[in-house]
């Protein structure tokens, strides 16, 4: 019996909320691919401040509404989905104005459209 790894496709569209001239967020790479079982980090760069706002991560499957995954803010507050989704974590890198979503032990069910929002 031979098992071959599947390639998981992840798409990060540009997603802006609020006044795009002062605050915005965009994916570092709009398309990501990873072999099943591996770890992938999705990243979005933002401009503006997250002192009062929070950065959000969502995942959307075809023909379904986006599902909330994680919220992160400058005060190191993290709020995962309820219940938390195993293998998914988020972190804020203020020095690089970047927010990351890490998915460990990727599976075919991780193939989706991912949104980062400010």
Question: What is the CATH classification number for the domain harbouring 62?
Answer: 2.60.40.10
Q: Is residue 116 part of a domain?
A: no
Q: Is residue 67 part of a domain?
A: yes
Q: Which two tokens stand for residue 84?
A: 């938390």
Residue located via tokens 């190191």: 76
Number of domains in the chain: 1
Domain residue limits at 11: 7-105
Q: Is residue 13 part of a domain?
A: yes
- Per-residue model confidence as pLDDT tens for the chain (118 residues): 444 445 556 655 544 444 444 568 888 888 888 888 999 999 999 887 666 678 899 999 999 999 999 998 877 778 889 898 999 999 988 888 899 999 999 998 899 999 988 8
Q: To the nearest 10°, the Cα dihedral for 67, 69, 74, 76?
A: 150
- Closest by CA to 34, choosing from 116, 118, 114, is 114
pTM over 0.85: no
- The phi and psi torsions of 4 (rounded to 5 degrees) equal -105, 145
Q: Is residue 110 part of a domain?
A: no
Q: Is residue 118 part of a domain?
A: no
Q: Is residue 40 part of a domain?
A: yes
């Amino acid at each position: 019996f031979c098992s071959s790894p599947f390639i998981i496709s992840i798409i990060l569209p540009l997603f802006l909320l609020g006044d795009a001239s002062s605050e915005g967020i965009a994916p570092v790479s709009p398309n990501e691919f990873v072999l099943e079982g591996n770890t992938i980090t999705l990243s979005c760069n933002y401009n503006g401040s997250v002192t009062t706002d929070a950065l959000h991560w969502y995942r959307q499957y075809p023909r379904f509404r986006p599902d909330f995954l994680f919220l992160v803010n400058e005060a190191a507050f993290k709020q995962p989905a309820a219940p938390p989704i195993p293998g998914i974590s988020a972190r804020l890198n203020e020095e690089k104005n970047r927010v990351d979503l890490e998915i460990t032990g990727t599976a075919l069910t991780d193939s989706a459209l991912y949104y980062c929002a400010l």
